[in-house]
Chains A and B, each alone.
Chain A
């Protein structure tokens, strides 16, 4: 295949430029399994913010932004966050409703080993764009899950939605606002061993989240164990004035839902 030598050469260049032992072997495989042969542009259209050194490997904030220039009326249809060296590297896949015009999403993730992190954005014209960062953290997936199991169980499935109106004069085109959805859930990774039984505390995590306003989708998330305890998603969107609704399903099949007025803060 003609493409292989180019990929191999690119991989070597990146390997020389990156910290040792993190040549893009993991990314190449993941990228291939997600996107096959598709071209993925490293053109700065999507950016990824992540701390170089995480304060808490189980709670690492990350932000993915698609910086579409003024007048570019493509929308983001999908964002994928990949933590290359994690046991479950595809942290989350976000899909977006066309009317909501989401261009940015933040969440908190577990990072299990020093790793590259990739964000891939797919736009409404089918084009794909990637951003990469490097994060120093370890043990995020096997770390103890929750500080207070009793409190966790008592509040399981509780949700909060906050809306932040962008200040006047800010560069948010089309009067986007920001919203943040927070869900109480242990998001057990399944990688934490019980010392006594020698069995692993079973994985139990939020798998699907859907956020709508009225009948219109804002975003849907399919996620795994790389999302931190008490999943939190912060995103911009174009408000329609309709109530906001969140539906959450976890791996036990438990479903939670909540609704807030459009102007919820």
Chain B
């Protein structure tokens, strides 16, 4: 069955007009039934087509759940092709871990991929609809130039179901535990735990390699680290970084960076150092990528937040 589908896809790819769009994303099977595509550690651009976040899917006996859909419609389609290479089962759930473009811009690619050509249930945090409504326009405009031709078809697709606390979805002898978190990386972060394999999709609550980016609350993010660490998972899929990492050890470098920011800024704020000087004073960290793009911006955001303590 799978061989026939692969053949069909290959023929389509060779003969079809949009060959590039249907080439399946490379995914790694990190656990039985759990597949992850490693996003490039970079900003969105034409070369990577917006594929800069880790996205993946879980296959149950009856259905598939997709977790994040990538930074363009093209990446979403390529992820779908990767799903179809593995299984013909309906995609009943698409889960967005949070609002950022690199995780949600591929949502529209999954229309019609559920039972009988219906749409999967799109699941997000309780605060995701408002976040996408108010930011969607800005996200599309901000990334249009960077993506070039891969900005085609960009649309904001809102969730059908939202999670305020926890929600379980059943893929057929396989449950996923979806959990909503208080404001941390953003004000709409979700994690997804595949209970069968103890695999935690952390979304951007965990960054590895790629410097963590604060777009919610530094204090809130630090405050949940212990609870996150207590999630009973053996391995984690970070939003950026390796496709799979041991849990909870994977949290340590991020915790050190975020705690280090707070520890560096608090005495400077107490001393009355103005924002511009503090941003110049807090040294950039080592052993992270994209420091130039994100560190001073993080310091600026953290300063404005910590000033209120």
Interface residues of A (CB under 8 A from B): 49, 51, 55-56, 59, 61, 63, 106, 108, 139, 142-145, 147-151, 160, 162, 164, 178, 182, 184, 192-197, 201, 230, 232, 234
Interface centre among B142, B276, B297 (most CB of A within 10 A): B276
Q: Residue B119 at the A interface, CB < 8 A? A: no
A105 to B290 Cα, complex, angstroms: 34
Among B132, B183, B279, the residue within 8 A (CB) of A151 is B183
For the complex, would chain B's binding face be called helix, strand, loop or mixed by DSSP majority? helix
Residues B279 and A139 in contact, CB atoms below 8 Å apart: no
Q: Is the CB of A193 within 8 A of B137?
A: yes
A197 contact set on B, CB distance < 8 A: 133
Which of B127, B130, B304 is close to A59, meaning CB atoms less than 8 Å apart?
B304
Q: Which of the four size classes fits the interface of chain B?
A: 20 to 34
Contact A147 B297 (CB under 8 A): no
Q: For the complex of A and B, list the 6 residue pairs with the smallest distance between their C-beta atoms, beginning with the closest.
A: A195-B136, A164-B272, A144-B135, A61-B276, A196-B133, A148-B187
User: What residues on A are CB-neighbors of B227 within 8 Å?
Assistant: none
Report 26 cross-chain contacts, Cβ distance below 8 Å, ordered by A residue.
A55-B297, A56-B297, A61-B275, A108-B275, A142-B141, A147-B186, A147-B216, A148-B216, A148-B217, A160-B308, A162-B272, A164-B272, A178-B272, A184-B308, A192-B134, A192-B138, A194-B133, A194-B134, A195-B132, A195-B134, A195-B137, A196-B133, A197-B133, A230-B304, A232-B304, A234-B274
Cross-chain contact B137 with A147 (CB below 8 angstroms): no
Within 8 A of A (CB), among B149-207: 156, 158, 183, 186-187
Q: Is the CB of B249 closer than 8 A to any CB of chain A?
A: no
A173 CA to B18 CA in the complex, in Å? 72
Report B269-303 residues with CB < 8 Å from chain A CB: 272, 274-276, 279, 296-297, 299-301
Q: Which residues of B contact A160 (CB under 8 A)?
A: 307-308
B133 touches A195 (CB 8 A): yes
Mark contacts of B44-56 with chain A using CB atoms, 8 A cut-off: 1 yes-contact digit, 0 otherwise: 0000000000000
